[in-house]
């Protein structure tokens, strides 16, 4: 299936204003019907194949992450196409500025009658800086998220505090985010959250993206990690998000190039 988001209609000014208000107050927002059913099913099929193909490297972290795959952007260009979506830039730019990049792209699958490593109460960013967001998270739901199959739970407004909620407090005050397949959840990475427990006999699948400021280090050297035969086919937005505009020169020859050939593009914060 050919994936193409480049001509998706933009959100209007009113919806973006609502997004900004929701992010500044409760710290998250929901966009239903972001992906249509056909596209969601395509990603789900690719993800299921990758999960079946997964082999732990040998460390404990590799085992814990067995349901959080880190190399999907290297496997199939369909996943990379998500980074070309003009709506993605539209909903992230108000918070991380024009030149934001990708910190990490993973999956989050909750097995039948089980849970995954994302089920612990956690944040996706260790930094607490008042009135300044360094990281944000996005989740694309590839199945209906229900109370029974482990929909995401968030603690509204918790991005504003350095305090760490214990599990009892979190469960008492959290908000469950049930949503239909194809929805997008966006949140401040300082919001405390967790994946719920899946008490059904079916998997619950999603894709996730962590985004950061252009001057920050990424989890992976994505420019080198993603095969060139994939990245070379992507548009300028996707290549910027991957990190092509924030590379470092490895020698003086690369440093003293004309401005239009710089690996680290100017004026990115």
CA pair distance 214, 262, nearest whole angstrom: 15
CA pair distance 188, 175, nearest whole angstrom: 15
Phi then psi dihedrals of residue 110, to 5 deg? -105, 120
Provide the 10 A C-beta neighbour count for residue 205. Answer: 23
Q: Report the pLDDT value the prediction gives residue 89, as an integer from 0 to 100.
A: 98
Q: Which of 47, 35, 37, 27 lies closest to 153, judged by CA?
A: 27
CA pair distance 151, 102, nearest whole angstrom: 24
- The enclosing H or E element of 158 equals none
Q: Percentages helix, strand, coil for the chain, rounded to the nearest 5? A: 35, 15, 45
Q: Report the pLDDT value the prediction gives residue 58, as an integer from 0 to 100.
A: 80
Q: Report the pLDDT value the prediction gives residue 115, as an integer from 0 to 100.
A: 93
Question: From the centroid of its chain, how far is CA 257?
Answer: 34
CA pair distance 33, 150, nearest whole angstrom: 19
CA pair distance 172, 153, nearest whole angstrom: 11
Helix (H, G, I), strand (E, B) or coil at 242: helix
What are 34's two structure tokens? 């972001």
108-131 as b/e, with b when 16 or more CB fall inside 10 Å? Answer: bbbeeeebbebbebebbbeeeeee
Query: Which structural domains are found in the chain, ordered by start?
Result: 13-261 (2.60.120.620)
* Tens-level pLDDT at each residue, the chain (269 residues): 899 998 899 999 999 999 999 999 999 999 999 999 999 999 999 999 999 999 888 888 888 888 999 999 999 999 999 999 999 999 999 999 999 999 999 999 999 999 999 999 999 999 999 999 999 999 999 999 999 999 999 999 999 999 999 999 999 999 999 999 999 999 999 999 999 999 999 999 999 999 999 999 999 999 999 999 999 999 999 999 999 999 999 999 999 999 889 999 988 87
């Amino acid at each position: 299936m050919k994936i193409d988001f480049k001509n998706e209609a933009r959100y209007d000014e009113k919806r973006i204003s609502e997004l900004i208000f929701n992010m500044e107050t409760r710290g998250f927002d929901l966009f239903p019907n972001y992906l249509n059913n056909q596209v969601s099913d395509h990603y789900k099929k690719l993800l299921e194949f990758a999960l079946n193909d997964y082999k732990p490297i040998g460390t404990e972290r590799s085992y814990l992450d067995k349901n959080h795959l880190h190399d999907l952007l290297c496997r199939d260009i369909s996943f990379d196409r998500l980074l070309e979506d003009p709506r993605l830039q539209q909903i992230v730019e108000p918070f991380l500025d024009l030149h934001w990049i990708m910190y990490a792209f993973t999956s989050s699958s909750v097995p039948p009658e089980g849970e995954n490593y994302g089920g612990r109460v956690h944040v996706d960013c260790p930094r607490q800086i008042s009135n300044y967001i360094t990281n944000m998270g996005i989740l694309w739901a590839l199945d209906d998220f229900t109370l029974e199959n482990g929909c995401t739970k968030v603690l509204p407004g918790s991005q504003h505090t350095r305090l760490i909620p214990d599990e009892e407090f979190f469960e008492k005050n959290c908000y469950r985010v049930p949503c239909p397949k194809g929805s997008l959840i966006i949140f401040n990475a300082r919001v405390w959250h967790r994946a719920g427990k899946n008490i059904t006999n079916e998997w619950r699948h999603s894709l996730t993206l962590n985004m950061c400021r252009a001057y920050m280090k990424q989890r992976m050297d994505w420019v080198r990690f993603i095969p060139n035969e994939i990245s070379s086919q992507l548009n300028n937005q996707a290549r910027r998000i991957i990190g092509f505009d924030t590379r470092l020169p490895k020698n003086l020859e690369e440093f003293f190039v004309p401005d239009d050939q710089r690996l680290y593009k100017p004026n990115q914060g």
